[in-house]
């Protein structure tokens, strides 16, 4: 469904991503794990068009994403839950969700999806009139996910959904990610919390200083000695 | 009792000039909110709006349509000027350091002023009558129709703007881009379109202000926008730059302060007091009356 081939990204003279290739198939959860600064977020930003690649290709169901304007990507069924949530804190929860549905015009469909999101995240309904900035970290993460879902994506890119959350909330967020996937959502998940990310994913890629150093079945990676030593603290 | 009547008259004057400042301040604050740029050419958009009105009134009268329709022409011209200025001068610098864009804005301001001087000479031209001036008297308090129209038109513009920003999809997109441009792209919002619309609206408001200002002080010259623009900028900073209700509040406060200073202290000191307010705001609460005291987001 999503295919990244031989991606190179530079920040000025710094070569941040070295020929990364990865693939996400329909219905999968694929995790991209790695330490701080390994380039995980850069990969996601490049896929979404927020960062320009030096070379390489990204295709979504055969469509070359580098050939279209970044703001048009979401129309092709890919939504991005950015790192640090980046909800609109001066706008209400409801307005944030409306912004998620910015590209849509089907009023009835939008209302139905709003109901679906309130079903996933009942707390967002309670707080729908509150400003986004007044929500707790966990609620903001839920809002960020809900906002992305409002565009009716086929594939969801999620960047560090566990960041800054208590262990209990991390569990809750991952439970929802699993549920979304069982309901048919394809997910590319970037995480520092390698244990959670590997236990939920079908496949995973390990990123080290801009290179994919390992990839494969998530369960096997979870058992792998090198992965355990480097990322699972075992 | 006479003293009271004079006081009320000064308040009315203050609200009149304040509503003009507010309209202009909205342009500064909306543009700042979305591209983090103080558009120093904004004051000169007022001047352009004034010249467009000046030249269009005789044409309109000859065509047999009401002279006040010059507002529509000025609004269209200024909106277009705002959009073109952004596209040509500011857009290429969107990722440049802020100071570069600021200097460019000053350059655009000088360009407009000098271009205007070249085309129409630097001498002041009388502004034609757009609104019939009739005087009202309410219990000794006198005011004219221009005062009334200025206040009513400004308040209507501000209410419409507020409704647009709060209720419409485009208005919400504008707030979204202003808060987080990157996240807005992820929502599918075309920030270029949104920025153009912001410039169009802000500059259009300047055109309305231009006609109202020239109706009250019927003279047009190439530099008329700089002082008016500067005071409106102070109003925007006073209310909290980037905050739409702040610009309205700041405009009215500056208008009232100016009017009361002229009446009770000295008309020469009025400008000094207004600029003094800027200094005090920058010292005491740089984020403005409605601004939150938070560090800049990184």
Q: B123: exposed, middle or buried (C-beta count within 10 Å: 0-12, 13-18, 19+)?
A: exposed
* CA separation for the pair B229, B251 (Å, rounded): 11
* CA separation for the pair B132, B135 (Å, rounded): 10
Chain A CB contacts of B172 under 8 Å are 91, 95, 98-99
- Say which of A48, A86, A148 has its CB closest to residue B180: A86
What are the boundaries of each domain within chain B? 2-133+142-284
How near does any CA of chain A get to the CA of B275, in Å?
Answer: 31
CB contact under 8 A, B179 and A91: yes
* CA separation for the pair B172, B158 (Å, rounded): 16
> Does the beta carbon of A87 lie under 8 angstroms from any beta carbon of chain B?
yes
Question: Which tokens in the block code for residue B115?
Answer: 């271009």
How near does any CA of chain A get to the CA of B194, in Å?
Answer: 12
pLDDT in tens, A35-62: 888 999 999 999 999 999 999 999 999 9
Chain B CB contacts of A147 under 8 Å are 187
DSSP string, B46-109: HHHHHHHHHHHHHHHHHTTS-GGGHHHHHHHHHHHHHHHHIIIIIGGGTTS-HHHHHHHHHHHH
User: In the prediction, which pLDDT does B1 show?
Assistant: 59
**pTM confidence score:** 0.90
Cβ atoms within 10 Å of B45's Cβ, excluding its own: 33
Question: Which tokens in the block code for residue A125?
Answer: 């309904």
- Taking the CA atoms of residue B58, residue B59, residue B61 and residue B65 in that order, the dihedral angle to the nearest 10 degrees is -150
Give pLDDT tens digits along chain B (298 positions): 588 888 999 999 999 999 999 999 999 999 999 999 999 999 999 999 999 999 999 999 999 999 999 999 999 999 999 999 999 999 999 989 999 999 999 999 999 999 999 999 999 999 999 898 889 888 788 889 999 999 999 999 999 999 999 999 999 999 999 999 999 999 999 999 999 999 999 999 999 999 999 999 999 999 999 999 999 999 999 999 989 999 999 999 999 999 999 999 998 999 999 999 999 999 999 999 998 766 554 4
> Does the beta carbon of A52 lie under 8 angstroms from any beta carbon of chain B?
no
Query: Which whole-number Å values give the CA distances from B69 to A18, A83, B52, B58, in the listed order?
Result: 62, 51, 11, 11
What are the boundaries of each domain within chain A? 1-72+194-234
DSSP string, B137-152: EETTEEEEHHHHHHHH
Per run of 10 residues, the mean pLDDT along chain A (length 234 residues) is 96 94 96 92 95 96 95 96 95 96 95 94 95 94 96 96 92 94 96 92 95 93 88 74
* CA separation for the pair A103, A141 (Å, rounded): 21
Q: B207: exposed, middle or buried (C-beta count within 10 Å: 0-12, 13-18, 19+)?
A: buried
Residues linked to residue B268 through DSSP beta bridges, in sequence order: none
**Is B2-133+142-284 in CATH node 1.10.3470?**
yes
* CA separation for the pair A7, A9 (Å, rounded): 7
CB contact under 8 A, A99 and B186: no
Chain B CB contacts of A48 under 8 Å are 185-186
Cβ-count burial A124-161 (b if 16+ within 10 Å, e if not): beebbeebbeebeebbbbbbbbbbbbbbbbbbbbbbbb
User: In the prediction, which pLDDT does A217 show?
Assistant: 94
CB contact under 8 A, A50 and B169: no
Residue in this structure with the two tokens 């005062």, named with its chain if needed:
B147
Residues linked to residue A26 through DSSP beta bridges, in sequence order: none
User: In the prediction, which pLDDT does B298 show?
Assistant: 41
* CA separation for the pair A182, A202 (Å, rounded): 12
How near does any CA of chain B get to the CA of A217, in Å?
Answer: 30
User: In the prediction, which pLDDT does B295 show?
Assistant: 53
Q: What interhelical angle do B191-216 and B42-62 show, nearest 10? A: 60
User: In the prediction, which pLDDT does B297 show?
Assistant: 46
Q: CA angle at residue A99 from A146 to A40, to 5 degrees?
A: 60
* CA separation for the pair A175, B185 (Å, rounded): 28
* CA separation for the pair B173, B181 (Å, rounded): 10
- Give this complex's ipTM: 0.93
Out of 3.30.360.10, 3.40.50.720, 3.30.830.10, 3.40.50.300, select the CATH number for domain A1-72+194-234: 3.40.50.300
Residue in this structure with the two tokens 């000479």, named with its chain if needed:
B121
């Amino acid at each position: 469904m999503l295919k990244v081939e031989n991606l190179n990204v530079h920040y000025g003279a710094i070569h941040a991503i070295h020929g990364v290739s990865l693939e996400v198939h329909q219905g999968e959860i694929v995790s991209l794990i790695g330490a701080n600064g390994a380039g995980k977020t850069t990969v996601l930003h490049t896929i979404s068009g927020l960062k320009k690649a030096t070379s390489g290709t990204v295709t979504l169901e055969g469509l070359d994403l580098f050939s279209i304007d970044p703001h048009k990507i979401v129309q092709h069924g890919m939504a991005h839950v950015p790192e640090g949530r980046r909800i609109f804190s001066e706008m209400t929860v409801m307005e944030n969700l409306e912004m998620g549905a910015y590209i849509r015009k089907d009023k009835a469909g939008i209302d139905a999806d709003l109901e679906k999101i309130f079903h996933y995240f009942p707390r967002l309904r309670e707080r729908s009139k509150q400003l986004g900035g007044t929500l707790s970290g966990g609620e903001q993460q839920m809002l960020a996910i809900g906002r992305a879902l409002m565009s009716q994506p086929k594939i969801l890119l999620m960047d560090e959904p566990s960041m800054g959350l208590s262990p209990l909330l991390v569990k809750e967020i991952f439970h929802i990610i699993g549920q979304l996937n069982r309901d048919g959502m394809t997910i590319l998940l970037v995480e520092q919390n390698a244990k959670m990310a590997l236990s939920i994913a079908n496949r995973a890629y390990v990123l080290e200083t801009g290179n994919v150093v390992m990839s494969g079945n998530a369960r096997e990676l979870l058992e792998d000695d090198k992965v355990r030593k480097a990322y699972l603290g075992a | 009792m006479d003293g009271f009547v004079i006081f009320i008259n000064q308040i009315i004057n203050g609200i009149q000039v304040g509503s003009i400042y507010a309209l202009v301040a909205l342009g500064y604050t909306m543009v700042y909110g979305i591209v983090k740029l103080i558009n120093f050419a904004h004051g000169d958009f007022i001047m352009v709006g004034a010249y467009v009105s000046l030249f269009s009134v005789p044409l309109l009268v000859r065509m047999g349509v009401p002279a006040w329709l010059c507002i529509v022409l000025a609004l269209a011209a200024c909106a277009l000027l705002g959009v073109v200025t952004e596209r040509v001068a500011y857009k290429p610098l969107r990722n440049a350091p802020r100071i570069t864009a600021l200097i460019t804005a000053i350059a655009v301001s000088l360009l407009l002023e000098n271009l205007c001087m070249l085309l129409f000479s630097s001498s002041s031209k009388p502004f034609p009558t757009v609104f019939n001036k009739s005087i009202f008297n309410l219990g000794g308090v006198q005011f004219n129709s221009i005062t009334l129209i200025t206040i009513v038109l400004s308040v209507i513009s501000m209410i419409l703007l507020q409704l647009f920003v709060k209720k419409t999809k485009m208005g919400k997109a504008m707030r979204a881009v202003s808060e987080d441009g990157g996240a807005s792209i992820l929502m599918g919002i075309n920030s270029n379109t949104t920025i153009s619309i912001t410039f169009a609206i802000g500059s259009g408001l300047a055109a309305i202000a231009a006609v109202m200002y020239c109706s009250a002080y019927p003279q047009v010259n190439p530099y008329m926008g700089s002082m008016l623009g500067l005071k409106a900028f102070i109003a925007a900073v006073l209310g909290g730059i980037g905050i739409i209700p702040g610009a309205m509040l700041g405009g009215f406060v500056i208008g009232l302060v100016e009017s009361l200073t002229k009446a009770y202290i000295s008309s020469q000191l009025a400008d000094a007091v207004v600029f003094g307010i800027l200094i005090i705001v920058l010292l005491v609460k740089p984020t403005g009356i409605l601004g939150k005291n938070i560090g800049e987001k990184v």
